[in-house]
Amino acid sequence: MTNIYSHNYAKELDEQDELKVFRNEFYINPDKIYLDGNSLGLLSKQAEKAVYTIMEAWKSVAIDGWTQGNQPWFHLSEHIGEKMAPLVGANSDEVIATGSTTTNLHQLVASFYKPEESRTKILADALNFPSDIYALKSQLQLRGYDTKKHLVQVESDNGHVLKEEDIIAAMTEEVALIVLPSVLYRSGQILDMEKLTVEAHARGIMIGFDLCHSIGAIPHALHDWGVDFAFWCNYKHLNGGPGSVGGLFVHKKHFGEQPGLAGWFSSEKEKQFDMDHDLTPAPHAGAYQIGTPHVLSAAPLLGSLDLFEEAGITKIREKSVALTSYLLQLLDHELSGYGFIVRSPKLAKNRGAHVFIEHQEAARICKALKASGVVPDFRAPNGIRLAPVSLYNSFSDVWHTVQNLKKIMDEKTYKNYSNKRGVVA
């Protein structure tokens, strides 16, 4: 039997990998191992082709591109939404490609936060990405509420994972809305969205999720779970490109309601150019668009989502679990005693698509890793995220990463760098 800690074992896993052919679909620097796909996914050849196709339509038919060509821009957001819907377990009309993560959160809170009488609070958590909390606080301030009193943030016992029973206990009669991450951006913990939705609805509270670190990495069933809304970015696991258009989900039970923030593309398509000053909202998730689609920023998703349709989210998740489990095995075997602490859940069912480790020298270790050819992700004050992505990373990538990390620690080359983050981390 091959030694599981050897490179030969990693190569055997690569030979058995059903998704290995997709690696050839991406532009990969042969001199680097890219493990930062949970911050920015790599460019695929399909995404590049889709951008050129949209550009060609602009070049050849100009304004008629809104209604002509293989992919008319007027319905682009809906079309991309249909392609994304299977990844979040939604009906095709419950998803729309639009806005950015924070813009979409503002829209959804403006639409579904309906304080009345004693129900005035928004429930969130203390481990969420800062931008979500910024948005929630600003929405409360716009309604005239004190954020210290009306934003409830569930704390973590250890600063890394949340207990679902603590979240449920915080679902009091004073809570009007709940917004939580599906996967925690640091530790990678997966929250039980179905359970939390059932508990919220049993108490008469609407609930939504930030899927930034789960879409394209784990399966969802938002419609069947009854989740009220969700929002996400598309530049991480979905490889939509830097600053690409985001996405949102609204359960069909809410169709027909006026969006909190109405805009030009909130309109029902057939009535949009009637130029009526009274909005007739689209009878689907499209009602929650605000502005004109960012066509060039949405274009890469057309190609990228074709790859996800071909690979299938179930197989993507299976390989992701195998990659992160293998990474944890190697870290435990090769780097025990080097001062690293694994903060990601050990159980695969509770872990997203990355591994989070801490070290007091994390910032300089990340710099040394990058110099060695491995691209990690640093999170202040002392965290390192390693994200092997199913569509373009290999088990050999994981093996070489741990070997590079061990060499850096043995030779102490990390001391050549300052232990401070860069401007962008």
The residues near 169 (Cβ < 8 Å, ≥ 6 apart) are none
Q: Which fold has domain 49-310?
A: Aspartate Aminotransferase; domain 2 (3.40.640)
User: Which segments within 243-302 are labelled E, that is strand?
Assistant: 247-250
Q: What's residue 21's pLDDT?
A: 98
Is 231:208 a contact under the CB 8 Å cutoff?
yes
Q: How far apart are CA 22 and CA 247, in angstroms?
A: 24
Per-residue pLDDT of 144-167, as tens digits, reads 999 999 999 999 999 999 999 999
Q: Is the predicted pLDDT of residue 1 greater than 80, yes or no?
A: no
Tokens of 149: 């009193």
Distance CA 289, CA 167 (A): 30
Mean pLDDT of 3-11: 96
Over range 93-103, report the average pLDDT. Answer: 98
Q: How many CB atoms lie within 10 A of CB 329?
A: 14
Which pLDDT tens digit goes with each residue over 26-59? 999 999 999 999 999 999 999 999 999 999 999 9
292 has binding-site annotation: yes
Per-chain mean pLDDT for the chain: 97
**Per the structure block, which two tokens stand in for 281?**
């909202």
CATH 3.40.640.10 domain residues, the chain: 49-310
pLDDT tens figures, 343-364: 999 999 999 999 999 999 999 9
Whether 213 has a binding-site annotation, put simply, is yes
Helix (H) or strand (E) holding 331: helix 313-334
CA atoms within 13 A on the CB side of 174: 8
Q: Judge whether 264 is annotated as a binding position.
A: yes
Q: Is 101 annotated as a binding residue?
A: yes
Q: Side chain identity at 290, as an amino acid letter?
A: I
Give CA–CA dist 167/147, Å, rounded: 19
Task: Report residue 181 CA to chain centroid gap.
Answer: 9
What percentage of the chain has pLDDT greater than the value 70?
99
Measured distance CA(106)–CA(104) in Å, rounded: 5
Report the pLDDT value the prediction gives residue 422, as an integer from 0 to 100.
Answer: 79
Dmax (CA) for the chain in angstroms is 73
* Annotated binding-site residue? 132: yes
Tokens representing 65 are 């591109």
For residue 139, give the amino acid letter.
Q
User: pLDDT-derived band of residue 424, with 50, 70 and 90 as boundaries?
Assistant: low
What's the rounded Cα separation, in Å, for the pair 85 and 94? 7
Confirm or deny that 417 is annotated as ligand binding.
no
Q: What is the pTM of this model?
A: 0.97
Give the model confidence (pLDDT) of 242-265 as tens digits.
999 999 999 999 999 999 999 999
Report which residue type is found at 229: F
Residue 335, token pair as written in the block: 């780097």
What is the CATH topology of the domain spanning 7-31+312-416? Aspartate Aminotransferase, domain 1 (3.90.1150)
Q: Are 107 and 248 in contact (CB under 8 A)?
A: yes
CA distance 266 to 269: 9
Q: Phi-psi bin for 228: left (phi > 0), alpha (psi -120 to 50), beta? A: alpha
Q: 189-221, pLDDT tens digit by residue?
A: 999 999 999 999 999 999 999 999 999 999 999
Contact 108, 246 (CB under 8 A): no
Residues of the chain with CATH 3.90.1150.10: 7-31+312-416
In whole angstroms, give the CA distance from residue 381 to residue 366: 12
In tens, the pLDDT along 265-322 reads 999 999 999 999 999 999 999 999 998 999 999 999 999 999 999 999 999 999 999 9
Instruction: State how far the Cα of 372 lies from the Cα of 242, in Å rounded to an integer.
Output: 24
**What pLDDT, on a 0 to 100 scale, did the predictor assign at position 69?**
85
What's the burial of 117, exposed, middle or buried (CB within 10 Å: 0-12/13-18/19+)?
exposed
